[in-house]
Amino acid sequence: MTTQLFAFEQALKNKTKKEVLAGKLLEMIFTGLLRDGDELPSERELGTLFGVSRETVRGALGLIAAYGLIQVSHGAKTRVKRDERLLQRCSELIPELGNLEINNYDIETVFDSRKVVEAAIARKAALYIDAAGLKEMQVLLNQQKELFNQPVYFQLSDKRFHKLIAEYSRNDILLAYSEELYAYGLNFRRAVMVKEGSIERSYHEHVMIYDALKAKDPDQAEKAMLNHLHSVYITTVEAMDEAE
């Protein structure tokens, strides 16, 4: 298993906040989490989601706009402009973005790995998560409860939810692997999220994970995470089959 996402995170360590955020959003465009024509959440919503100021968000969007990968219009929603030629040019300027190889693996291999990694993460997070982590997770869940008809915003929040749990494993290797595994098949996850009931189901599964972490119960946290990943696996396979 390669760790390109980990290398990407390392490359961002000495960047400014706006450069770090721009890198994260560019990564989401490269992996398919953000598609051509997608409307981004507002500056305020993005700031809340990523824990940064609106000024930082504005600066990050300006950097991405300079690459030509988003369209920023005064008084209108910012939209993604997914242009393969521009993406190729961007990957030449930021090599780490062009080297995400997780999609070269089959879905069974990836999800077998994801179950091992995220089960371990859930167990450790149940032991180490603190009041601040639980508070941030509750904020994310409060957002997600209002996003049943907003797949783009929900997926951004979903990514942060899983990364937050991984951060509380206090294990940088588990965090790096979980980030890379999460990037698998995001274009198919988009197809799943637009189906009625899909976001609501994921939200309720997230609540079960949160409850187990709050209870400091490693066994229940692992069980809740594996239940969620099984659901993600089944719906991703269905989306892949429908795309054939």
Q: Which of the 8 DSSP states describes residue 98?
A: G
* 6-32 pLDDT tens trace: 554 554 455 788 988 888 888 888 877
Cα–Cα distance between 98 and 31 in angstroms, integer? 10
The number of residues in the chain equals 244
For residue 161, how many C-alpha atoms fall within 13 Å in the half-sphere facing its CB? 25
Helix, strand counts (H, E) of the chain:
12, 2
Bigger pLDDT: 112 vs 19? 112
Do domains 4-99 and 103-243 share one topology? The answer is: no
Q: Do 213 and 129 form a contact (C-beta atoms < 8 A)?
A: yes
Angle at Cα 16 formed by Cα 74 and Cα 70, nearest 5°?
A: 30
* 138-185 pLDDT tens trace: 999 999 999 999 998 999 999 999 999 999 999 999 998 998 899 887
**pTM score, whole prediction:** 0.80
* Of the candidates 154, 84, 92, the residue with the CA atom closest to the CA atom of residue 162: 154
In CATH, 4-99 is 1.20.1260.10: no
Q: What CATH superfamily is the domain 103-243?
A: GntR ligand-binding domain-like (1.20.120.530)
Cα–Cα distance between 237 and 115 in angstroms, integer? 16
The mean per-residue pLDDT over the stretch 209-232 comes to 98
Count other C-beta atoms under 10 Å from residue 20's C-beta.
Answer: 18
Structural domain boundaries of the chain?
4-99, 103-243
Cα–Cα distance between 22 and 7 in angstroms, integer? 16
- Residue 130 burial (10 A CB sphere; 0-12, 13-18, 19+): exposed
The dihedral formed by the CA atoms of 87, 160, 239 and 103, expressed in degrees to the nearest 10: 50
Q: Supply the pLDDT for residue 1.
A: 45
Count other C-beta atoms under 10 Å from residue 136's C-beta.
Answer: 17
| Cα distances (Å, whole numbers) of residue 119 to 79, 94, 225 | 36, 32, 6
Residue 218: φ, ψ to 5°: -60, -40
